[in-house]
Structure 1
Amino acid sequence: MGYPENILADGEHVVLHRHPHWKCLVLPTIVFLLVTAAAGVAAGYLTSSSLSGTGELVVWVVIAVVWLALIVWFFLRPLISWRTTHFVLTDRRVTFRNGILTRSGIDIPLQRINSVEFRHGLVDRMLRTGTLIIESASDDPLSFDDIPQVEKVHSLLYHEVFDRGDGNVNT
């Protein structure tokens, strides 16, 4: 699911579009592998068991339903959430949209941004990700976690906010 270009104003263009860092998908992928392996082991035991007929069918259905429920909740939901989360910097605003069934979002006009900072620890630095913190005119600072290449995003955002004195956009 791409970023909806139709929410942009006339003449507004996207400078940067990011989804959260792929590290958000590591745990769901591990869960997928473990749950699938456990279902495979259960299926192997069932095949070598003395169950037959209706009892065997019921256990197959239980294994399949439990596997599917766990995969949907612990793998597909985070994957879809990751895919539908957008951090977008345009030449006029910062936009953040997230959610699957219930969408939420925030727009921060560039003129209202007072400061931009980033934070990342050792693991985040190795993965080239981090938290971007934006302080606007009248609101508490907003934190955006797991922004890929957070230093580059910080630099671009700083450029868009503070280096545009002449009104020209150089991206």
Structure 2
Amino acid sequence: MGYPDNVLAGDERVVLHRHPHWKRLIGPALVLLIVTALASFGAAVVQNSDWDGTVKRVVLLVLAALWLIIVGWLTVWPFLNWWTTHFVITDRRVMFRHGLLTRSGIDIPLARINSVEFRHGLLDRMLRTGTLIIESASQDPLEFHDIPRVEQVHSLLYHEVFDTLGSEESPS
């Protein structure tokens, strides 16, 4: 899903658009598998019981409703939050947008960025993700967690900042 062009200025171009790393979806995927297995087991037990047909249907409907609520809350909702979280670098600014029902975001003009850092531990290094830390003028450093290929993003952002500033320190 590309970032909507209607939030960009007329001649502004997207340099990078990322969602958070897929590792954020591991927990919800495991929940889906476990809850589905438990619901299937419960349904099989109910089907093989010698209960009245109406009681079986009611218990199966309750199981299905519980499955739907748990999967919606612990699987679908986190996926939709992941899908609607955007980390975007343009040739003018860094944008971060997140939220499904209530959206929020921040824009950092490239000219206001003082430093760019990244941090990742052993697991993050194996998964090629990490935390990007951006320090801008007159603000506390902002941390963006689970940025895929954080080292490449760090390097790209560094080059964009110096290209924007037109500094003689600008890398070629």
**Normalising to structure 1: TM-score of the pair?**
0.95
**How many Å separate the matches in 1 of 2:114 and 2:138?**
9
Q: 1:124: which partner in 2?
A: 124
**How many Å separate the matches in 2 of 1:109 and 1:165?**
11
2:144 partner amino acid: F
SS of 1:12 mapped into structure 2: coil
Structure 2 contact 132–150 (Cα < 8 Å) conserved: yes
**How many Å separate the matches in 2 of 1:151 and 1:23?**
17
Q: 1:154: which partner in 2?
A: 154
Residue-by-residue CA offset, 1:22-78 (whole Å, 9 max, x unaligned): 000001000000000000000110111011222111101110000000000000000
Q: 1:67: which partner in 2?
A: 67
How far apart are residue 98 of structure 1 and its match?
0.3
Q: 1:138: which partner in 2?
A: 138
Instruction: Give the alignment of 1:1-171 within 5 angstroms.
Output: 1-166=1-166
**How many Å separate the matches in 1 of 2:46 and 2:86?**
44
Moved more, 50-59 or 6-15: 50-59
2:70 partner amino acid: L
How far apart are residue 166 of structure 1 and its match?
4.0
**Normalising to structure 2: TM-score of the pair?**
0.94
Moved more, 157-166 or 40-49: 157-166
1:154 partner amino acid: H
2:55 partner amino acid: G
Identity percentage of aligned residues? 64
Shift in CA distance, 52/2, structure 1 to aligned 2, threshold 3 Å: farther
Residue-by-residue CA offset, 1:99-141 (whole Å, 9 max, x unaligned): 0000000000000000000000000000000000000000000
**How many Å separate the matches in 2 of 1:166 and 1:67?**
56
Q: Could you tell me which runs of 5 or more consecutive residues in structure 1 were left unpaired when the two chains were aligned.
A: none
**How many Å separate the matches in 1 of 2:99 and 2:2?**
14
1:90 partner amino acid: T
**How many Å separate the matches in 1 of 2:28 and 2:102?**
21
